[in-house]
């Protein structure tokens, strides 16, 4: 089956796996997905990830993170830009998610980064998703 928005599909898989308390989840590989997963790792939303070959194609294996009460660290993931409605923002207008407790992921001309780093670099771009 063809997926019209692969990034939204990846975020949905992560959200559903976290709610079901799975240890890991596999998603198909792309450059954008890999950059988003790297940001999730550096921001502390997932334990780890690795790129593996499975049945002849490459997948990203994401190891989910839970707190001491066994509740998921990722409380919510929301896609902002969609194929039918792209959302762009200048660096001055980048949204703050839950008063700074969440993270907005932005695709800029200098690569995929968090909203905080995009403001520091004074560069705007396409708002990909928010994580809290």
Structure tokens at 58: 């490459």
**Burial class, 10, CB count within 10 angstroms (exposed 0-12 / middle 13-18 / buried 19+):** buried
Q: Is the pLDDT of residue 132 over 80?
A: yes
Distance between CA 17 and CA 61 in Å, rounded? 12
**pLDDT tens across 3-51, in order?**
789 999 999 999 999 999 999 999 999 999 999 999 999 999 999 999 9
CB atoms under 10 Å from CB of 11, counted, come to 24
**Burial class, 114, CB count within 10 angstroms (exposed 0-12 / middle 13-18 / buried 19+):** middle
- Say which residue the tokens 């968090």 belong to: 114
Please report the pLDDT score of residue 97 as a whole number.
92
Please report the pLDDT score of residue 1 as a whole number.
57
Threshold 0.85, pTM exceeds:
yes
Structure tokens at 5: 């928005």
Distance between CA 74 and CA 87 in Å, rounded? 23
Distance between CA 107 and CA 20 in Å, rounded? 29
Spatial neighbors of 116 by CB under 8 A, at least 6 apart, are 103
């Amino acid at each position: 089956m063809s997926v019209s928005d692969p990034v939204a599909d990846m975020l949905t898989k992560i959200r559903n796996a976290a709610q079901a308390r799975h240890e890991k989840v596999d998603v198909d590989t792309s450059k954008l997905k890999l950059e988003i997963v790297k940001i999730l790792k550096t921001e502390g939303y997932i334990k780890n990830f690795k790129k593996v070959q499975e049945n002849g194609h490459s997948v990203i294996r994401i190891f989910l993170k839970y707190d001491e009460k066994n509740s998921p660290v990722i409380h919510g993931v929301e896609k902002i830009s969609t194929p039918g409605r792209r959302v762009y923002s200048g660096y001055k207008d980048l949204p703050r998610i839950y008063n700074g407790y969440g993270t907005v992921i932005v695709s800029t001309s200098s690569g995929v980064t968090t909203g905080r780093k995009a403001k520091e670099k004074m560069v705007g771009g396409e708002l990909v998703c928010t994580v809290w």
